[in-house]
Amino acid sequence: MTRRRKVPLRVCVGCQEKKPKKSLMRIVRTPEGTIELDTTGKKSGRGVYVCPQKDCLNLAQKGNRLGKQLNRRIPEALINQLWSNFEQSESFE
Residue 53 counted as domain residue: yes
The number of domains in the chain is 1
Q: Which residues of the chain have pLDDT under 50?
A: 90-93
- Rounded Cα–Cα distance for residues 65 and 13 (Å): 6
Residue at 1 is within a domain: no
pTM equals 0.81
Classify residue 55: in a domain, yes or no.
yes
Q: What digits encode the pLDDT tens for the residues 15-32?
A: 999 999 999 989 999 999
In a domain, 4, yes or no: no
Cα separations (Å) of 90 from 15, 52, 70? 19, 9, 27
